[in-house]
Amino acid sequence: MTNEENLIKWDPKFKIGIPLIDAQHEHLVNLCNDFYQSLLKSKGTDTYHTLVKQTLENCLNYAATHFKEEERLMKASNFDGYRQHKKAHDAFTAKCEATYENIESLHVSEAIKFALFLYEWINTHIAHEDRLYLPTLVEFLKEQQTK
Ligand SMILES: [Fe+2]
């Protein structure tokens, strides 16, 4: 855990060098931080479930939008690791959906555990797996520019 307020501190190491993707990743990290902050601020109050549900929903909706965009680019550039990468997105989505479905009964300790899972996943996925499609995508985007 980085500090009390933010679950994930945006770090230059998360940047992969494609502005569109970097902006989406940064936004996703911000939404995960919103979720974590809402949980810390509202725990033990009447607003806990409403706030946690709302911020998690924002996070998951945006993750879906971002995955769609990444998958579109991976396909367009004929990245040969597409299927494996999509599997990682789908597994993440399935776990998030299962948690979201049980949000009404999600205890603070479980919500914190889930926030940590988000942190770990984003940290490793952006810092490692997203870099795998980078050479193919950079080449593809270069070709598009010269067309
Ligand atoms: Fe990805």
**pLDDT value of residue 3:** 46
> Does 13 reside within a domain?
no
Scanning 16-133, the segments in alpha helix (DSSP H) are 19-42, 48-76, 82-101, 108-124, 130-132
> Does 46 reside within a domain?
yes
Query: From the CB of residue 89, how many other CB atoms can be counted at a distance below 10 Å?
Result: 18
Question: How far, in Å, is the centroid of ligand 1 from the Cα of 63?
Answer: 10
Q: Which two tokens stand for residue 137?
A: 């995508």
**pLDDT value of residue 8:** 66
User: What does the pLDDT look like over 18-29, one tens digit per residue?
Assistant: 999 999 999 998
Q: Higher model confidence: residue 107 or residue 2?
A: 107
B/e letters for 112-123, b = 16+ CB within 10 Å, e = fewer, are: bebbeebbebbe
- Cβ 10 vs Cβ 130: under 8 Å: no
> Does 81 reside within a domain?
yes
- Cβ 72 vs Cβ 21: under 8 Å: no
When divided into structural domains, the chain yields a total of: 1
- Cβ 8 vs Cβ 122: under 8 Å: yes
Question: How far, in Å, is the centroid of ligand 1 from the Cα of 1?
Answer: 22
> Does 9 reside within a domain?
no
> Does 75 reside within a domain?
yes
Query: How would residue 59 be classed by pLDDT, with cut points 50, 70 and 90?
Result: very high
Q: Which of 71, 53, 60 is nearest to 32 (CA)?
A: 60
> Does 12 reside within a domain?
no
Q: Which two tokens stand for residue 50?
A: 């409403």
Question: How far, in Å, is the centroid of ligand 1 from the Cα of 40?
Answer: 28
- Cβ 56 vs Cβ 100: under 8 Å: yes
User: What does the pLDDT look like over 88-134, one tens digit per residue?
Assistant: 999 999 999 999 999 889 999 999 999 989 988 987 898 889 999 99
- What pTM was computed for the model? 0.89
User: What does the pLDDT look like over 29-55, one tens digit per residue?
Assistant: 889 989 999 999 999 999 999 999 999
Question: How far, in Å, is the centroid of ligand 1 from the Cα of 43?
Answer: 31
**pLDDT value of residue 127:** 86
Question: How far, in Å, is the centroid of ligand 1 from the Cα of 129?
Answer: 7
Question: How far, in Å, is the centroid of ligand 1 from the Cα of 50?
Answer: 29
Task: List the domain range (segments joined by +) for residue 101.
Answer: 18-146
Question: How far, in Å, is the centroid of ligand 1 from the Cα of 46?
Answer: 36
Report the CATH number that the domain containing residue 51 is assigned in CATH.
1.20.120.50
Question: How far, in Å, is the centroid of ligand 1 from the Cα of 67?
Answer: 6
